[in-house]
């Protein structure tokens, strides 16, 4: 059997690429460099048994975050709500929905002792074709899409927590994504918009329960 060996040139090239990726801040999937202040935190949810709660818990652990019981001196991530909505993008000639867009939204609050708390929202959108001739395949595809969207939303939550480093250093949660201080008016507008999103999520959940 012929063995393949790395030449010095190939080895140097691999080493150079690895160094370059490290220098530019490349991270493996699931690693968002969460601030040390959030290495240990509690996680609570409006529904401790939902699939999304389970997925977030897994994401936290994948990022080496130690989950502990809630306490006044411990940072907390609280899932406020989640919702799934859909809308028709296109129709068949028979006026039956052909392409459907799904949107998964979630609202959550991050609380850091001695700094404050702030509510965030995240959403993921995907679309799929509604084939009337394969109802089972459509159902399986939709279930997979919904699961994928929940995983992506959970990753976005962890990514947002990684961006809180500037807030922690500034000692306030009222900073935007660029590190600029948010005015009272802007903060109020954001809170009103987030409240609408929460109410919408609650309405959709109640509608699903009735159905």
**pLDDT at residue 21, as a whole number:** 46
Whether residue 1 lies inside any domain: the answer is: no
At 108 the three-state DSSP class reads strand
**pLDDT at residue 89, as a whole number:** 73
Instruction: Work out the number of other CB atoms within 10 angstroms of the CB of residue 164.
Output: 21
Give, for 210, the enclosing helix (H) or strand (E). helix 184-210
Whether residue 67 lies inside any domain: the answer is: yes
Is residue 107 packed enough to be buried (19+ CB in 10 Å), middle (13-18) or exposed (0-12)?
Answer: buried
What's the pTM?
Answer: 0.68
Whether residue 164 lies inside any domain: the answer is: yes
Cα–Cα distance for residue pair 167/175, rounded to 1 Å: 6
**pLDDT at residue 129, as a whole number:** 76
Cα–Cα distance for residue pair 15/35, rounded to 1 Å: 28
Instruction: Work out the number of other CB atoms within 10 angstroms of the CB of residue 105.
Output: 21
Is residue 62 packed enough to be buried (19+ CB in 10 Å), middle (13-18) or exposed (0-12)?
Answer: middle
Cα–Cα distance for residue pair 14/6, rounded to 1 Å: 10
Whether residue 12 lies inside any domain: the answer is: no
Structural domain including 30 reads: 24-81+105-121+134-210
Whether residue 128 lies inside any domain: the answer is: no
Q: Digits of tens for pLDDT over the chain (211 positions)?
A: 444 454 555 555 555 555 444 444 333 444 568 999 999 999 999 999 999 999 999 999 999 999 999 999 999 999 999 999 988 777 666 666 668 888 999 999 999 998 999 999 999 998 877 766 665 556 788 888 999 999 999 999 999 999 888 888 888 877 666 556 665 555 555 556 555 555 554 454 444 444 4
**pLDDT at residue 31, as a whole number:** 56
Q: At what angle do helices 135-162 and 51-62 cross, to 10 degrees?
A: 40
Is residue 112 packed enough to be buried (19+ CB in 10 Å), middle (13-18) or exposed (0-12)?
Answer: buried
User: What's the CATH number where 53 sits?
Assistant: 3.30.160.150
Whether residue 90 lies inside any domain: the answer is: no
**pLDDT at residue 174, as a whole number:** 75
Provide the domain count of the chain.
1
Whether residue 18 lies inside any domain: the answer is: no
Question: Residues 172, 48, 204, CA angle at the centre, nearest 5°?
Answer: 85
Whether residue 30 lies inside any domain: the answer is: yes
């Amino acid at each position: 059997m012929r063995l393949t060996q790395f030449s010095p040139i190939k080895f140097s090239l691999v080493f150079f690429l690895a160094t370059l990726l490290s220098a530019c801040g490349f991270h493996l999937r699931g690693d968002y460099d969460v601030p040390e202040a959030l290495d240990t935190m509690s996680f609570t949810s409006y529904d401790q048994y939902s699939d999304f709660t389970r997925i977030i818990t897994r994401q936290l652990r994948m990022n080496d975050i130690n989950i502990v019981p809630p306490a006044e001196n411990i940072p907390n991530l609280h899932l406020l709500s989640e919702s799934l909505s859909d809308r028709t993008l296109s129709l068949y000639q028979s006026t039956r929905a052909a392409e459907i867009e799904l949107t998964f939204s979630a609202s959550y609050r991050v609380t850091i002792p001695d700094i404050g708390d702030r509510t965030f929202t995240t959403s993921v959108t995907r679309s799929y074709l509604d084939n009337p001739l394969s109802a089972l395949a459509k159902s399986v595809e939709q279930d997979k899409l919904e699961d994928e969207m929940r995983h992506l939303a959970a990753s976005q939550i962890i990514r947002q927590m990684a961006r809180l480093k500037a807030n922690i250093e500034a000692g306030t949660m009222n900073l935007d994504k660029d590190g600029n201080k948010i005015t009272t008016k802007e903060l109020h507008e954001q809170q009103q918009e987030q409240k609408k999103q929460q109410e919408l999520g609650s309405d959709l959940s109640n509608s699903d329960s009735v159905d």
